Chain A
Amino acid sequence: MNGLANASSLFFLSAGLSLIFGVTRIVNMAHGSLYMLGAYIAYTCATSLGGVLGFWGGVLATAAALALLGALIEIALLRRIYHAAELFQLLATFALVLLLSDVVAALWGVEDLLGPRAPGLRGSVEILGRQFPEYDLFLLVVGPVVLVGLHLLLTRTRWGTLVRAATQDRDMVAALGVDQAKLFTAVFALGAALAGLGGALETPRQPANLGMDLSALGDAFVVVVVGGMGSIPGAYVAALLIAEIKAICIGLGTQTIAGIPFNFSKLTLVAEFIVMAVVLIARPYGLLGRAQGMPRHAAAIQDPIEPAGRRARLLALAVLAALLCVPLLAKASPYTLVLGIDVLIAVLFAASLHFIAGPGGMHSFGHAAYFGLGCYGAGLLLKLAGFPMAGAIAAAPLVAALGAAIFGWFAVRLSGVYLAMLTLAFAQIVWAIVFQWEALTGGSNGVLGIWPTAPFNSAWVYYLLVLALTLAGVLAMRRILFSPFGYAMRAGRDSPLRAEATGIAVLKVHWIAFIIAGTVCGLAGALFAFAKGGISPETIHVSRSIDGLVMVLLGGMHELAGPLVGAPVFTLLQDSVMRQTPYWRGVLGVVILALVLVFPMGIAGTIAGWAKRVAR
């Protein structure tokens, strides 16, 4: 029963996401943020006005406000990026996540805010011998009501017919005289209103907080992947399924199976993952979804990669020599070494992401998962399994590789936005497991006291170790790209059809590439654990995945040197500019928007472009 009530909010959220995607083909990463904003606005209405008007009026006012905001976002931002590459669309809407997060923090503060209970529905009723809150009953009813309402809107009105037609063929609709721009704005507004409604209705049940945006986004992704992108009934069925499974896990509590106590309530996220996995194996486009006829990869074809010329080699050697000299500064400015280690780890992290995102064409939005697995793998092997430092650093990438093997098996079967959503959802699951499994991972506190042992306990020696391993990792991936396997990776990205018709098992190639990237990323995570002296859930946070993508884009997705340029620039920028302001997220959001709208080639890409023009 509780699950049914939870399903309603989840459904509103996911239905909006699904609807927007169906028509605009954009996955709105900021959908969770609209949900969060809905919760905060409704809270303010309910507490400041109070009473029936404050609460119920507030819920409606919230939906209206979000519709307006949605329309504004569509007109100001989305219209500029309908024709951009998918990755840019995802990043641009993610920039909104960052901006809105800081807006909420600035307006409402960082405290959790629990709204008042709903006027008129404060009591509870007894059903089958159990007390059941009236408000939950109300939610239980309102979900199907909205489902039916949406269904009627889409099937019984001309507007709905136009939306469904536009979902299928936008150009044809325009050629019949329909103003798509208005239609898109309206759809986005409706989707945003639904998200806001979902958030507003949750305020009496759980406090509005700053983490809602991403947790809601992760949930919504799981729901639309399970239900089928673009299917409203699918979203409802999936929301019901997911919410029920969570409720059952929590309801079971601790049970003893075969003599071993087993805490099911901690298993909710794993259960969610298993449901998603089963659905994706059986029906790759979700329970009620249909194949969207999307190319597996639609990005612009890039230039062939070439072995470094003499000049590039000399430049690389010079940079290496400079990096080797950094320890000489250790005495004068110890912070330089710390920053140097950060930069090197960022380079390794970004390079591993670039490996699959660039030549592999798989834009992972959850690369932090493998970083986190490496980080926690190293920390926990050291602390709990008594591994020596070298053993922990050697074994941690294998932990990440195992995670990448499991998640990658699913991910390579999908493409484009589906792949992005799935990888992000996987990363959220890893994050939640780490966060919830306190006994093992230390929960939100993490585990401290993970320091390098001699001789690496002095910063400059550890710096050299990181430098050596980063260099080894980057060069190894580079070498793989020039091997037969590297050709096959790029071929699988350029034209999977041709590759399959030439005897190349594209899924297997991309799966192995995914595992290689996960392994290297795990190494970066392990090095990070020892550099910071501890591990915490922050290492797996979505923002790290996004940072990685920004580094890669900043450097240039289509350049082998992209991550090597982007990661240091980003890390130094973060260190200098973003430390100055409490609103660094907002600043990062603006940086991302600038990248997407003005500077899509990245630094290395732009320089390479100049070099080519000069050469001609």
Chain B
Amino acid sequence: MKPLLEVRGLQKSFGGVRAVDRVSFALGEGEFLALIGPNGAGKSTCFNMVNGQLGADAGEVLLGGEAILGLAPRQIWRKGVGRTFQVAAIWGSLTVRENVQLALLSHAGEVFRFWRPAAERHRERALELLADVGMQAQAARPARELAYGDVKRVELAVALANEPRLLLMDEPTAGMAPRERNEIISLTKRLVRERGISVLFTEHSMDVVFAHADRIIVLARGQLIAEGDARAIQDDARVQEVYFGTGRSFRRPSA
């Protein structure tokens, strides 16, 4: 399988602490890849270097063979990379439909148009995308009034507006109830499969990761320590040690 995204030797330090230490991995076309690790393992740092929010000290990030490391988030988006945030971010003072319309306007290169009202532009397409995520009925509502789970859905519609090749999702289920988690991740998976989009996501909830990821990579203290499918990761001794089994290594402190 030809990789869509290749990360090679990525490195970043903060004040002497190596947050990400020579991390390399690849993401195939149409793959659903999870990036996991305990708090402070360097997941977010790694993720933010791929999406352009953070510069790297060393390394390479290639999208379809093209170097994207160091480009601004805006430019990376133009290369066909959609994105959702850990704390879902949409534009609260626009309506739900306007949120998606603006993403479509941006994709069409029509942001710097000053005179014709935007309300009718790409309206149908926006409603289609909202229907895809099950939010058509709430299209006219102010985005800030939405329940958090619905915000996540709208964000997904916004992220799909530029017909991306790759979707970067930072903790897609963070802050959601267990049932909502499964719903949003199943929805995401269906939509990206239909469109042939690859996904790289970070995630805290192990249920979600083991149930849905095609492949999992594990970071600990900045380094990639394991890579494989759910079974391989669950059985990996090093992963057990840094991630799940902390308690088992305890001896009751003699006191």
- A and B associate: yes
Residues of A at the B interface (CB closer than 8 Å) are: 301-305, 307, 479-480, 482-488, 490-491, 493-495, 497-505, 509, 512
* A509 and B98 contact, CB distance less than 8 A: no
* B162 and A503 contact, CB distance less than 8 A: yes
* B83 and A501 contact, CB distance less than 8 A: yes
Q: Does B92 contact A (CB under 8 A)?
A: yes
* B107 and A484 contact, CB distance less than 8 A: no
Instruction: Quote the shortest CB–CB distance from A368 to chain B (angstroms).
Output: 26
* B111 and A504 contact, CB distance less than 8 A: yes
* B91 and A494 contact, CB distance less than 8 A: yes
Nearest B residue (CB) for A558: B93
Nearest B residue (CB) for A487: B102
**Residues in chain B near residue A307, CB distance under 8 A:** 117, 119
* A509 and B111 contact, CB distance less than 8 A: yes
Q: Please measure, in the bound complex, the distance between the C-alpha atom of A480 and the C-alpha atom of B98, giving whole angstroms.
A: 15
Question: Most chain-A CB neighbours within 10 Å: which of B94, B121, B155?
Answer: B94
Q: Does B101 contact A (CB under 8 A)?
A: yes
Q: Please measure, in the bound complex, the distance between the C-alpha atom of A304 and the C-alpha atom of B141, giving whole angstroms.
A: 9
Q: Please measure, in the bound complex, the distance between the C-alpha atom of A484 and the C-alpha atom of B106, giving whole angstroms.
A: 9
**Residues in chain A near residue B155, CB distance under 8 A:** 498
Nearest A residue (CB) for B113: A484
Q: Does B135 contact A (CB under 8 A)?
A: no
* B114 and A480 contact, CB distance less than 8 A: yes
Q: Please measure, in the bound complex, the distance between the C-alpha atom of A495 and the C-alpha atom of B73, giving whole angstroms.
A: 14
**Residues in chain B near residue A302, CB distance under 8 A:** 93
Instruction: Quote the shortest CB–CB distance from A594 to chain B (angstroms).
Output: 27
* A484 and B98 in contact, given A490-B93, A494-B92, A502-B77 (Cβ under 8 angstroms): no
Q: Does B95 contact A (CB under 8 A)?
A: yes
* A485 and B111 in contact, given A497-B89, A501-B77, A502-B102 (Cβ under 8 angstroms): yes
Pick from B78, B89, B92, B105: contact of A484, CB under 8 Å: B105
**Residues in chain A near residue B103, CB distance under 8 A:** 502
**Residues in chain B near residue A494, CB distance under 8 A:** 90-94
11 contacts between A and B (CB under 8 A): A304-B94, A484-B121, A487-B98, A488-B106, A490-B93, A497-B89, A498-B91, A500-B73, A501-B77, A502-B77, A503-B162
* A498 and B119 contact, CB distance less than 8 A: no
**Using an 8 Å CB-CB cutoff, how does the interface string of B20-55 with A read, 1 for contact, 0 for none?**
000000000000000000000000000000010100
* A487 and B101 contact, CB distance less than 8 A: yes
Pick from B89, B93, B95, B121: contact of A498, CB under 8 Å: B89
**Residues in chain B near residue A505, CB distance under 8 A:** 74, 111
Q: Does B112 contact A (CB under 8 A)?
A: yes
Pick from A304, A499, A502, A504: contact of B93, CB under 8 Å: A304
**Residues in chain A near residue B51, CB distance under 8 A:** 501
- Other 15 A-B pairs with CB < 8 A, given A486-B118, A498-B91, A503-B107: A301-B93, A304-B93, A304-B95, A488-B111, A490-B91, A494-B90, A494-B92, A494-B94, A497-B73, A501-B74, A501-B83, A501-B85, A503-B78, A503-B111, A504-B106
Q: Does B116 contact A (CB under 8 A)?
A: yes
* A502 and B113 in contact, given A303-B93, A490-B94 (Cβ under 8 angstroms): no
Q: Please measure, in the bound complex, the distance between the C-alpha atom of A45 and the C-alpha atom of B102, giving whole angstroms.
A: 64
Residues of B at the A interface (CB closer than 8 Å) are: 51, 53, 72-74, 77-78, 83, 85, 89-95, 98, 101-103, 105-107, 110-119, 121, 142, 144, 155, 158, 161-162
Q: Please measure, in the bound complex, the distance between the C-alpha atom of A453 and the C-alpha atom of B105, giving whole angstroms.
A: 46
Nearest B residue (CB) for A495: B89
Q: Please measure, in the bound complex, the distance between the C-alpha atom of A484 and the C-alpha atom of B111, giving whole angstroms.
A: 5
Q: Please measure, in the bound complex, the distance between the C-alpha atom of A564 and the C-alpha atom of B162, giving whole angstroms.
A: 38
Q: Please measure, in the bound complex, the distance between the C-alpha atom of A500 and the C-alpha atom of B121, giving whole angstroms.
A: 21
* B77 and A503 contact, CB distance less than 8 A: yes
* A500 and B74 contact, CB distance less than 8 A: yes
Pick from B53, B98, B116, B162: contact of A483, CB under 8 Å: B116
Instruction: Quote the shortest CB–CB distance from B57 to chain A (angstroms).
Output: 19
**Residues in chain A near residue B105, CB distance under 8 A:** 484, 487-488
Instruction: Quote the shortest CB–CB distance from A299 to chain B (angstroms).
Output: 10
Q: Please measure, in the bound complex, the distance between the C-alpha atom of A483 and the C-alpha atom of B110, giving whole angstroms.
A: 10
Instruction: Quote the shortest CB–CB distance from B138 to chain A (angstroms).
Output: 13
* B118 and A487 contact, CB distance less than 8 A: yes
* A502 and B106 contact, CB distance less than 8 A: yes
Instruction: Quote the shortest CB–CB distance from B140 to chain A (angstroms).
Output: 9
* B94 and A483 contact, CB distance less than 8 A: no
Instruction: Quote the shortest CB–CB distance from B195 to chain A (angstroms).
Output: 18
Nearest B residue (CB) for A492: B91
Instruction: Quote the shortest CB–CB distance from B221 to chain A (angstroms).
Output: 25
**Residues in chain A near residue B73, CB distance under 8 A:** 497, 500-501
* B93 and A484 contact, CB distance less than 8 A: no
**Residues in chain B near residue A501, CB distance under 8 A:** 51, 73-74, 77, 83, 85
Q: Please measure, in the bound complex, the distance between the C-alpha atom of A315 and the C-alpha atom of B121, giving whole angstroms.
A: 29
* B112 and A485 contact, CB distance less than 8 A: yes
**Residues in chain B near residue A490, CB distance under 8 A:** 91, 93-94
* A485 and B114 in contact, given A501-B73, A502-B102, A502-B158 (Cβ under 8 angstroms): yes
Question: Most chain-A CB neighbours within 10 Å: which of B93, B144, B162?
Answer: B93
Q: Please measure, in the bound complex, the distance between the C-alpha atom of A214 and the C-alpha atom of B106, giving whole angstroms.
A: 43
* A485 and B113 contact, CB distance less than 8 A: yes
**Residues in chain A near residue B102, CB distance under 8 A:** 484, 487-488, 491, 502, 504
Q: Please measure, in the bound complex, the distance between the C-alpha atom of A264 and the C-alpha atom of B116, giving whole angstroms.
A: 49
**Residues in chain B near residue A502, CB distance under 8 A:** 77, 102-103, 106, 158, 161-162
* B74 and A495 contact, CB distance less than 8 A: no
* A498 and B116 contact, CB distance less than 8 A: no
Q: Please measure, in the bound complex, the distance between the C-alpha atom of A582 and the C-alpha atom of B53, giving whole angstroms.
A: 55
Instruction: Quote the shortest CB–CB distance from B225 to chain A (angstroms).
Output: 29
**Residues in chain B near residue A495, CB distance under 8 A:** 89-92
Instruction: Quote the shortest CB–CB distance from B52 to chain A (angstroms).
Output: 8
Nearest B residue (CB) for A506: B74
Pick from A304, A480, A512: contact of B142, CB under 8 Å: A304
Nearest A residue (CB) for B161: A502
Nearest A residue (CB) for B144: A301
Instruction: Quote the shortest CB–CB distance from A298 to chain B (angstroms).
Output: 13
* B83 and A483 contact, CB distance less than 8 A: no
Q: Please measure, in the bound complex, the distance between the C-alpha atom of A512 and the C-alpha atom of B90, giving whole angstroms.
A: 23
Q: Please measure, in the bound complex, the distance between the C-alpha atom of A35 and the C-alpha atom of B51, giving whole angstroms.
A: 48
Q: Please measure, in the bound complex, the distance between the C-alpha atom of A509 and the C-alpha atom of B106, giving whole angstroms.
A: 12
Q: Please measure, in the bound complex, the distance between the C-alpha atom of A495 and the C-alpha atom of B90, giving whole angstroms.
A: 7
Question: Most chain-B CB neighbours within 10 Å: which of A302, A491, A498, A501?
Answer: A501
**Residues in chain A near residue B93, CB distance under 8 A:** 301-305, 490, 493-494
Instruction: Quote the shortest CB–CB distance from B165 to chain A (angstroms).
Output: 14
Nearest B residue (CB) for A359: B93
